[in-house]
Amino acid sequence: MAFGPHLLLAALEGLVTSAVLALTALGLSLVFGVMRVVNVAHGEFYMLGAVIAWWVASLVGGHPAVGFLAALVISPLIVGVIAFAAERLVLARLSYSPEATIVATIGMLYILQQAALSLYGPEARPVPPPFNYRILLPWFGYSGYKLSVVVASALLLLATWYVLAKTRIGLVMRATQYDRETAQAFGIPVGQVYAGVFALGAMLAAVAAVLIVPISQAHYLMGHDPLLLSFIVVIIGGLGSLRGTVVAAVAIGMADGIISVFFSPTLAKIIATLLVALVLVFRPQGLFGETAR
Amino acid sequence: MAAVTPLLTTTGLKKVFGGLTAVDAVDFAVMPGEIRAVIGPNGAGKTTFVSLICGRLPPSSGEIRFDGRDITGLPAHRRVRLGIAYTFQITSVFANLSVYDNVALAVQRTAADRRWTGSLRDGVMSALSRTGLAGRAQERAGALAYGHQRLLEVAMGLALRPRLLILDEPTQGLSDGEIESFTDLVREIAQDATVLLIEHNMPVVMALAHRITVLDAGKVLAEGSPEEIRANAAVQAAYLGATAA
Amino acid sequence: MKPVNTPARPLILHGAVIAVLFALNFLLPDYHHGVLARVMVLAVFAMGYNLLFGYTGLLSLGHAMFFAAGLYGAALPMVHLEWSALSSFGTGIAAGALLALAVSLLALRTTGVAFMIVTMMFAQVAYLLTLYFGEWTRGDEGLVIPQPQRHIALPGLDLDLTSPTTRYMTALVLFSAVLLATLAIVRSGFGRVLVAIRENEERTRLLGFDVFANKLAAVTLSGAICAAAGATYAILFGYAGATFASIQYSILPLLWVLLGGAATTLGPLIGVLLMYYLVDASGPLLEQYLPGWKLSSLGIVGVSLVLLVLFFPKGILGTVRERWVKWLP
């Protein structure tokens, strides 16, 4: 393949990565923004989303689209319930101290990962895509499903933005983020808002995973990379900033897609991680973000 | 008399937070051995002003000289080593450390700077005796009564062997009896250190201060002996009339 | 009232712990003898971590990089340059101390959550580098140090580090040295400043201390101690693999220290010992009662972390100190 088409392919792959990454990172960013909790277990919610999607799809027979759509609804819901329970049972009892919550979410990471290993096993399993349509470009054919992932992610991002910016739920969340005590004084059930935010964050990761699982298979260790990339996105985009998160996700996803086509993935990861660490050192509010409160 | 140079001077000292000028072009001088009170209504910029002197905040413009040396750009910890000690308005002793260790931190600093040559224990115990805390050396600082925590703050300040001791609202929250012994303590400290006192309690100010500087809205409104300040109509209007009547 | 004066009691306690460990060399059956040698080396790792996390109050999520710096700093010259064990031990510590100094110059510009993430990312870079330079490190597979090289040649004495007793005693010497050094640091003026920084940075600064310089010293010292553990591990057990640089080995010292008691000198040993046997004992039990569940030690690590932070945040010795033995250092 010539350089131009090769680059186009890389860019398309990058776009898919960006779309899924934006959803995942938004979940992490939301939890940090509202609760000031760094959720190290975020990648495991992503993994759970994929694994449960496989489970649901394998239970539902018939056309692959039926199983997939069932998974798209059920899997995030189950993950949301698990996250809600984890927040109520663990994080809420730690008074959201930064050190204690980070240690607790590290614990959750291993618990969820090992639970998946026990119940799901070490195999990597695919979920069949809801449709198989190849878009024929002059140089190569490209999976229609992959492009639909981009569209679906964009719609979900818009929906999330709408909820955050335009609805009462979003208002309550912002009030809680802005000033916890005052929100409480105004009768906002802060504890439930926190649990809801934590669940929503996890569900965003889960829905991203359901979208990606027909492309890359479900595996109990698959949460590691999304966690790291989400961290990178949230740091570059500014902690707790929605717009910055999306912009950064697109930048990182495209860069990741393009770089990994042309360079050794390990070297790309080394350079990316190092650069992001330096961003955090020298510009802790991120490159795009508003100043973190 | 004329040969004596000020220990501390500020020239055109200014601090702006966002749009608010908290300290506005303050020219200020303290003579060695003096007890100087800085008073003013809430929000007058008193704490900001002393925070600039001790280096907790960087000034927006202006100059600070200590003992003839320009210290405007010096970090806080270096100023402490030159002999500027600050006791906090909000008590911030190390609650989980013993009373002894709290003061030992100050003594080991002066020992490292060779401004204290005795043993650590002697340095700690002398500061504790002067503040009447010697019997509580092994107690956890956080377990002390509030008045004793304030005294511990002062003991830590003393143990730094300062040439300039800044006391930020030291009598806040103390009982009348505690205030009286505190006043005696400050007089005693002033025998070998210059004292800069921020205080709301006017009887304490009048009893202790050699001179008083009145700040209002970040500017020096008046300066003079306690009698002069008492007689100053502008001060009465801005401050005394409102609170001490 | 006081049977022994206060400063002497901790010395006696620590002396007794070392004496017991020495005696155990002659009493333990082979298996536990080998375990304890390993536990002592890992306890040094935990003590290095504790100096920073427990005493200075800086939560690093990247200490695997310092352990790995010691591990590879010793193993690489031994395998590729055929250096002696003793000089490789030196290069291991030097590598760890230098890395810690460089990392802390950057990471200490941040605080709180950002510090945790920055350290984690630097450690991730270090881990990826061990994979990237797989030609020399042999990545996950790891380097095996040839048996003939694993000895210490001293004038008139040749210590064979593949013999269990020599190995145990070498581990004990390192452990004792670091334990006593930690005790000395904690009781020194420097140690007092570190605790003061943990409790209230601003107040410490206004007592005339350069907070940044003291933190820098703490990270460097902590890194050097962890590297000493890594170098010793490579030399005594003859193996250096990339797993030791992975995030898991940044989490383990945190867990050990939390379990044993942060900011206690003996907590790290207790934490490592308990965790080792907990994982060791739970394996067969789980296999017996939940066959086919393929549960690994990581699940136990996870459950322990959550339970500790929820119900037992001061750890074993931290609680003992709070309730009963106030003088415990």
Mean pLDDT of A158-171: 88
- What gap in Å lies between CA A148 and CA A146, rounded to an integer? 5
How is chain B split among helix, strand and coil, in percent rounded to 5?
40, 25, 35
Select from A94, A122, A284 the Cβ nearest to the Cβ of C309: A94
Q: Residues 33 to 52 of C: which have CB under 8 A from any A CB?
A: none
Size of the A and C interface in Cβ pairs below 8 Å: 111
On whether any CB of chain A is under 8 Å from the CB of C293, the answer is yes
- The per-residue pLDDT for C187 is 92
On whether any CB of chain C is under 8 Å from the CB of B180, the answer is no
> Which residue bears the tokens 């080998």?
C34
Cα angle B106, B111, B112 (rounded to 5 degrees) comes to 100
- B chain contacts of residue C199, beta-carbon cutoff 8 Å: 94-97
b/e per residue A201-220 (b: at least 16 CB within 10 A): bbbbbbbbbbbbbbbeebbb
In total, chain A counts a number of residues equal to: 293
- The per-residue pLDDT for B88 is 83
- What gap in Å lies between CA B46 and CA B27, rounded to an integer? 14
DSSP H or E segment with residue B113: none
Mean pLDDT of C322-326: 85
Q: For residue C226, what pLDDT band results from cuts at 50, 70 and 90?
A: very high
Q: Is the pLDDT of residue A196 over 50?
A: yes
State yes or no: chains C and B have 3 or more CB pairs below 8 A.
yes
Q: Is the pLDDT of residue C271 over 90?
A: yes
> Which residue bears the tokens 């945190």?
C254
- What gap in Å lies between CA B31 and CA B29, rounded to an integer? 7
- The per-residue pLDDT for A286 is 67
Domain ranges of chain C: 19-247
The model's pLDDT over B148-182, given as tens digits with 9 standing for 90+, comes to 998 899 899 999 999 999 999 888 888 888 888 88
- For residue B175, give the amino acid letter: S
Q: For residue C292, what pLDDT band results from cuts at 50, 70 and 90?
A: low
CATH class of A3-282: mainly alpha
Write the CB contacts of B4 (distance below 8 Å, at least 6 apart in sequence): B31, B32
State yes or no: chains A and B have 3 or more CB pairs below 8 A.
no
Mean pLDDT of A78-98: 93
Mean pLDDT of A40-57: 95
Q: Which residue of chain A is at minimal alpha-carbon distance from C286?
A: A118
Beta strand B8-17 pairing with C157-160: unpaired
- C chain contacts of residue B78, beta-carbon cutoff 8 Å: 208
C327: left (phi over 0), alpha (psi -120 to 50) or beta: alpha
Q: Are C258 and A103 in contact (CB under 8 A)?
A: yes
Q: Are A126 and A222 in contact (CB under 8 A)?
A: no
The model's pLDDT over A123-132, given as tens digits with 9 standing for 90+, comes to 999 888 888 8
Select from B77, B88, B101 the Cβ nearest to the Cβ of C210: B77
Q: Are B25 and B12 in contact (CB under 8 A)?
A: yes
Write the CB contacts of C203 (distance below 8 Å, at least 6 apart in sequence): B88, B92, B93, B94, C196
On whether any CB of chain A is under 8 Å from the CB of C137, the answer is no
Arithmetic mean of pLDDT over chain B? 89
What ipTM was estimated for this complex?
0.88
Which token pair is B203? Answer: 């009887």
C contact test, residue of A103, A105, A270, A282 with most C CBs within 10 A: A103
Mean pLDDT of B22-48: 91
- What gap in Å lies between CA C100 and CA C121, rounded to an integer? 14
Cβ of B108 within 8 Å of Cβ of C206? The answer is no
3-state secondary structure (DSSP) of residue B24: strand
Select from B80, B92, B95 the Cβ nearest to the Cβ of C208: B80
Of residues A290 and B146, more confidently modeled: B146
The model's pLDDT over A200-227, given as tens digits with 9 standing for 90+, comes to 999 999 999 999 999 989 999 999 889 9
Which token pair is C166? Answer: 């020599």
Task: State the pTM of this model.
Answer: 0.90
Cβ of A90 within 8 Å of Cβ of C306? The answer is yes
Write the CB contacts of C320 (distance below 8 Å, at least 6 apart in sequence): C261, C328
Any idea which of A247-256, A280-289, C163-172 has the lowest mean pLDDT?
A: A280-289
Q: Are A165 and A152 in contact (CB under 8 A)?
A: no
The model's pLDDT over C85-117, given as tens digits with 9 standing for 90+, comes to 899 999 999 999 999 999 999 999 998 888 998
- The per-residue pLDDT for B1 is 47
- A chain contacts of residue C121, beta-carbon cutoff 8 Å: 231, 273-274, 276-277, 280
Mean pLDDT of C155-171: 88
The model's pLDDT over B57-89, given as tens digits with 9 standing for 90+, comes to 999 999 999 999 999 999 999 999 999 999 887
C contact test, residue of B94, B97, B139, B168 with most C CBs within 10 A: B94
